[in-house]
A and B are shown apart, each in its own frame.
Chain A
């Protein structure tokens, strides 16, 4: 994992002091709320319904144990004993006091963490694949380039007051777990025919009110040229992106209105100008320095099979189910990737208590080479667990309500905070996720249904990714009452797609029944081995719609 050097430490400390000054100026009246707002946002501070909210960055979703322990400590000392892991590999605290936030940030800085650029119209936290460095088949560890992008984009003087927010995601695997095509810029680390590593760049994806899947801008940018290319995209966006209407200000609208071809031409032209100076070619020594931090941990050599692991599954059906749903093959023989679901039946998706965070930190330290990962589906991962240790890890997780064996299943839903917390929401999301999870609580039924991604947003801003749920649910407000609109066929992976709305919205009372109708329609229609999304893609909307509204 990347470790700060003196420079990184100093800059983050400077930033905390700067924010301390800004808070003081706001309190003294030297700054109006209008002037303060973008400054607090760029330090992760929102105002929600009940209190301020602080969003802390977890760059490319990687945490050390001491960092996870600090997140637990922050939850205890400055908040109400819990945190909420988000779809962009951040953690949100829902109750911090403004006047205590500078102290909180000081404590975070002590473990090389911050809330810089987790909001505001700037380049946000860079996200990546939660299995980075652990899964077989990566071109290279995507966190290397993610860290370079993190540094380049931090306090970028030209791109701090963009038309709108800007999100970058990176993957280095054929299976996209980072939803890169739904980002302003999505990067695929790839190898060309000559064996050189470079980047395929997608631009203009996004959700919100006008969802778009990103367009592939270029097949291959050589490694040394990536920052020049990114700077070109950013400059084109900053100069041509609309500022007259915040709903039309994202780069996806610019790409759409300009046209893919013309956008590519303009970007290439800008890229040629910027690249001519060679100023953005990162020195090889610096790339090597950063790469070294992501070298694989010192794995023990162990056989691919573990008798202990096999026996434990034979002896314990619950553990066997956990392995089936939540444990993924590791690239290193004798190791496994262990997913920790933050979606217990009836729980709040993505929430973890301070005690749970401490437990996970301890497990990571002892059994996972000190690493924890955060996923865009609001779960956590222990990326490097020896097969022999999986059962022990499972036992500890189970005693802390962290062993729900539902990864990728119907109860593993994404949900935004919704009207229970959020200032922008029109309807609640969490209670709906809880009801759906309880309706389908029976794990055997969930396994029978198979992979099914339900994603719930409480308003059109789509923080709950409803556009890209196999089943998406959008909360709408009709005269002060909550209604829920359904869409089908969305996907956030390498086959990214935007879902189609089924028709009129459902009331709070009817929505869970409607979901059940969709599920039984699928199980009635599915061919052998088909997931919900496969069946939908084969049969289309009509049969589902018919059953839903007859």
Chain B
């Protein structure tokens, strides 16, 4: 605990937290912006790859999605580095909050899963993603989706306490349930050529 206070009172953490030079809190706000953009750069394409592996958007060649991996790694490092600098600014609050450990743990597992997906789909027996995804790939993709949902929701919940945290979590669980039911239902009903093709044909 003393270490957490020491960390929080350190020069770098204090400078970021109190940054107000020339009437601008730029260091703090820039780090937060970087953290949000990095998140989008990593999770967005990752989710797209996962969904494609699970069979959504079949018109996209799975192999072509390999091109997104470099961007995903850039996003990851944006967040790792900005997070490393942001963490000490409220070290005591963050490192005594269980939700924070849920967030970091799920991110770590999600990134490991991403590496495993890369090996299985783009470098493994499947070759450059040209053959249909294996069952192992699909399980990895499903796991990745769950882990990212946990990571993002827990990141969101960190801003809240008590009752608001609980009710926010409930709201997310309800929404996810609806999306799952809706997604599965849609797939079962609409087994056509896909909405993009249908839309183009109708014009």
B and A form one assembly = no
